[in-house]
Structure 1
Amino acid sequence: MAPIPEIETARLRLRPMMISDWPDYSALMQSSRAQYMGGPHDIAAAWGMFCHDVANWPLFGHGALMIEEKDTGLCVGQVGINHGPLFAEKELGWFVYPHAEGRGYAFEAACAFRDWAFASLGLQSLVSYMDPANDRSRRLAERMGAVPDPDAARTEPQDLVYRHLNKSP
């Protein structure tokens, strides 16, 4: 297995998940803020999601990375490429913790991870699945240049699907 990458942007470090990330991750997944991710979830489901995010790396060569401020070392969220039986295609997803909203962290991290996936994994596209009511994620996907793909396969029929295309030659 290739090592899990660390990716840096101007303000952020995308780094492998650690058990010390669990308390904040668990709290988010058990809160109403997880409403657009099928939640709120109980602690067992939150743990399963956390483990899924880690397990994708050895199984598929990609997974989730935590988003950390370079200046402070504070963990502000997560970006990930999901895959496996619960996802029709490789899915680029993101979240930021409440204290980090409105700073452009999700955009910066998602663009960096998308670009890494295209360059390192040779992917030609990724999708982002989202609840139709999740206006913030929809606007973020559009800001990243993703386009709606109404014909894309999806696990949840009501989900919107945005497609990110690799525009490199």
Structure 2
Amino acid sequence: MTAIPTLITKRLLLRPMSVDDWEPYSALMLSERARYMGGPFSVRAAWGMFCADHAQWDLFGAGALMLEERNNGILLGQVGINSGPLFPEQEIGWLVFPEAEGRGYAFEAAFALLHWAKNVRRLQTLVSYVDPQNDRSRRLAERLGATLDGNAPRPDPTDLVYRHFA
């Protein structure tokens, strides 16, 4: 079992999830903003995803971390490494709440988690599954240095697969 890390960047605290994170997480997952992740989701589905994001730490040694602004503790979103039967490969994904979008938080958090995955967990590769219409996530994956992998398996046949440090 891998201890859930707390990562610190210039502006962010990436910390383990808590039940207090459920309300803002579910608000996003039940909204139209979840469309690029297969949503909007029902409360039941969102709760299952929330619990899986946390449980993956015990099951696979990686999972989700919540993003907080360091100077004021405002919750901004989530970054995580997804594993398990729904994911052909370990996947790094990110989400930011509407009020945090466009400020570079997802890049900062994903960069920190990629660094942890490579240097602490010694993962050889990660992928990001991106809806082809999600321009922001496509640009973010590219900014992180990922390249398109047209031959990679994917959970949704329409997803683009971006490969990190292969």
The reply to whether TM is greater than 0.5 is yes
Match of 2:40 in 1: 40
Match of 2:125 in 1: 125
List 4+ stretches of structure 1 deviating above 3 A: none
Counterpart secondary structure, 1:89: coil
Counterpart secondary structure, 1:162: strand
Work out the number of aligned pairs and report it: 166
* Residue correspondence of structure 1 range 11-22 to structure 2 within 5 A: 11-22=11-22
1:2 Cα offset (Å): 3.2
5+ residue gaps, structure 2, are none
Match of 1:106 in 2: 106
Query: Counterpart of 2:133 in structure 1: which amino acid?
Result: A
5+ residue gaps, structure 1, are none
Normalising by structure 2, what TM-score?
0.98
Is the counterpart of residue 83 in structure 1 residue 96 in structure 2?
no
CA distance in 1, matches of 2:4, 2:143: 27
**2:2/2:62 contact within 8 Å kept:** no
Match of 1:58 in 2: 58
Counterpart secondary structure, 1:121: coil
Provide the identity percentage.
Answer: 63
Cα RMSD, aligned residues only: 0.7
Query: Counterpart of 2:17 in structure 1: which amino acid?
Result: M
Query: Counterpart of 1:21 in structure 2: which amino acid?
Result: D
Match of 2:2 in 1: 2
CA distance in 1, matches of 2:118, 2:41: 32
